[in-house]
């Protein structure tokens, strides 16, 4: 069984929404239709990266050690992730938002979010950040590697106000910026990946998640011979 390719983002919404759809795409290459993603969020993400490029950690949070935002949008590819006793394996491939290089030689993987901070995001987006950390610390040959990754975090922009500039030809948005540290818990990430790889090891896809419209559509099409 060859290693399956997983992107860090697949381990958040996609996995939670429907393990059956996840299995079908990863194992059989049967993708769900792509949903619309508002371009405004892509634009805000790009502007945030530009704003913090090469900035010292003091611009992000006073709680961070000395360092600076040193890398943005770099692709990573991990060596295969294998867990004893589980047939399926995978490798991680994706592009992180940003990496902070601390003066002591360690690193932090950071992601930008345009939303209000939420405790629920710690576990949810923590999977994604842990996947990037794994790929950086266990790179495939010729891939980008960084070691050690000692911190993970989310930098939130929560829009709170809007105003005209004096010439009234431009409008500015104001937002609150919040840094949220994600605990680095590699054992929990390994346990989570054990669950993912166990599903991918099955000879048949798991049941559809309740309310999955994509699976309901596929079943309806099957019953009608489409």
The count of domains in the chain is: 1
Q: Can you say whether the dihedral through the CA atoms of 210, 214, 215, 221 is positive or negative?
A: positive
53-64 core/surface letters (b: 16 or more CB in 10 A; e: else): eeeebeebeeeb
Mean model confidence pLDDT for the chain:
92
CATH code for the domain in which residue 102 is found: 3.90.320
**CA 187 and chain centroid, separation:** 18
More confident residue, 90 or 37: 90
Q: What is the mean pLDDT of residues 81-88?
A: 96
In whole angstroms, give the CA distance from residue 102 to residue 68. 7
pLDDT at 92: 98
More confident residue, 225 or 113: 113
Residue 6 pLDDT grade (very low, low, confident, very high; cuts 50, 70, 90): very high
pLDDT at 224: 66
pLDDT at residue 36 tops 80: no
pLDDT digits (tens, 9 = 90+) for 124-181: 999 999 999 999 999 999 999 999 999 999 999 988 898 888 877 888 888 899 999 9
Closest CA to 96 of 124, 123, 129: 129
Q: In which domain, by residue range, is 59 found?
A: 4-223
Q: What is the DSSP string of 54-114?
A: T-BGGGT-TTSPSEEEEEES-EEEBPPB--TT-S--EEEEEE-SEEEEETTS-EEEEEEE-
Neighbours of 222 (CB within 10 A): 9
pTM: 0.92
């Amino acid at each position: 069984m060859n290693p399956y390719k997983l992107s860090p983002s697949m381990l958040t919404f996609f996995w939670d929404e429907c393990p059956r759809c996840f299995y079908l795409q990863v194992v059989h290459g049967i993708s769900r239709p792509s949903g619309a993603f508002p371009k405004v969020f892509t634009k805000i993400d790009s502007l945030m990266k530009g704003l913090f490029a090469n900035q010292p950690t003091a611009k992000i949070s006073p709680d961070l050690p000395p360092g600076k935002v040193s890398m943005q949008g770099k692709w990573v590819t991990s060596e295969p992730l294998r867990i004893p006793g589980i047939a399926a394996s995978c490798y991680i491939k994706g592009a992180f938002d940003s990496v902070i290089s601390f003066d002591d030689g360690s690193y932090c993987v950071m992601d930008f979010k345009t939303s209000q901070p939420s405790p629920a995001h710690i576990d949810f987006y923590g999977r994604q950040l842990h996947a990037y950390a794994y790929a950086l610390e266990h790179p495939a040959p010729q891939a980008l590697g960084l070691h050690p990754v000692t911190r993970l975090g989310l930098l939130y922009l929560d829009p709170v106000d809007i105003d005209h500039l004096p010439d009234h030809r431009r409008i500015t948005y104001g937002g609150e910026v919040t840094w949220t540290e994600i605990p680095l818990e590699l054992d929990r990430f390994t346990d989570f990946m054990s669950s993912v790889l166990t599903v991918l090891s099955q000879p048949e896809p798991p049941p559809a998640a309740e309310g999955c419209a994509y699976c309901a559509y596929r079943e309806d099409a099957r019953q009608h011979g489409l």
